[in-house]
Structure 1
Amino acid sequence: MPRAFPLAGLLRLRQLQQEKAAGELAAANLRMRETREARAGMYNALETSFSEPVDATTMNAIAAARSSSRSMLADLFALDTRYAAELETARTGFTAARARSVGLEKLEGKFAEAEAAEDLRAEQTILDELAGTVWHRRQKEANT
């Protein structure tokens, strides 16, 4: 019966950590993409809005809208900066988790190869013993 990989539990833990880190990286990428799309949408909206002030009230409304838009853009830039830092942290976390998993995965592969080689050696030993027994039996029968 083949032995189980002694570090299988640790390997599974590392793989779960890697999957979690991959999820965090995907979420960070999504937040970053959404923020950049929102910022691009804001720029497009500002480029296409042409308002002609007809009186002082309209001019004040346009000024307030532009000020609000400027504030929203500043918030989006700040959010973009924050999400960029989070993305880098998530990327670093995923890389580290992957590195921890890879080493154990290689060990597991080497363990499986060693187990397979040991199984083949044991099988060959049995076959050699059987062949030797048959050969001795035939020799014995030939001599009688």
Structure 2
Amino acid sequence: MERAFRLAGLLRLRKLQEDEAAGRLALANAELRSAEAVRVGTQATLAAHSMPDGDRLAFARGVAGRAALGGLVTEAVTVAGAAADVARVRTGEWSATRSRSVALEKLEDTHRAEVRSEDDRQEQLALDEIASRRAASVGVGAGGSMLADGSRNGAVR
């Protein structure tokens, strides 16, 4: 079994693509928050606007001011909606790049587990070989078995 993950280069590329998509998503979300803040502020300004008491000229200015604020609210709502659309698109892009990365990450995890299993198997074979050589050199089979203190069980002296 190969020790190196064959698709490591592709996984690095997918991670970079995912990072770029995450950056674009973060930027889109920041723009959305900013647009929403402008919208909320403009709506609050419109809600706080009151019509002046007095002559017809003051009332006409009040109506014109309110109409202008209404236009600004409409514009802010449109900008916020467009920012939300961009954020949704960026979320979809990030999700797609993330799913491609996850598939490769799972393959890499499987590969690592297989390499670890093979390493454990090789280590166990080496330990078994060492134990069988040690047992053969001590002569366990002829004259009894070896006890923990080094004496023989069943050996004739």
What runs of 5+ residues in structure 2 fail to find an aligned partner?
144-157
**Equivalent-residue separation in structure 2 for 1:134 and 1:102 (angstroms):** 47
**Equivalent-residue separation in structure 2 for 1:134 and 1:16 (angstroms):** 52
TM-score under structure 1 length normalisation = 0.86
**Equivalent-residue separation in structure 2 for 1:61 and 1:83 (angstroms):** 33
Deviations 1:76-114 (A, max 9, x none): 122122112111111110110110010011011001101
Counterpart of 1:121 in structure 2: which amino acid?
R
**Equivalent-residue separation in structure 1 for 2:49 and 2:70 (angstroms):** 14
Which structure shows the higher helix fraction? 1
Task: Report the structure number with the largest CA radius of gyration.
Answer: 2
**Equivalent-residue separation in structure 2 for 1:97 and 1:20 (angstroms):** 9
Counterpart of 1:108 in structure 2: which amino acid?
E
Counterpart of 2:52 in structure 1: which amino acid?
E
**Equivalent-residue separation in structure 2 for 1:65 and 1:81 (angstroms):** 24
Equivalent in the alignment of 2:47: 47
What runs of 5+ residues in structure 1 fail to find an aligned partner?
none
Contact 1:53 1:62 in 2 (8 A): no
Equivalent in the alignment of 1:135: 135
Higher relative contact order (CA 8 A, sep 6+): 1
**Equivalent-residue separation in structure 2 for 1:23 and 1:16 (angstroms):** 10
* Matching of residues 51-90 of structure 1 within 5 Å: 51-90=51-90
| Aligned residues with identical type, % of pairs | 34
Cα deviation, residue 57, structure 1: 3.8
TM-score under structure 2 length normalisation = 0.79
**Equivalent-residue separation in structure 1 for 2:27 and 2:40 (angstroms):** 20
Q: In angstroms, what is the RMSD of aligned CA positions?
A: 2.2
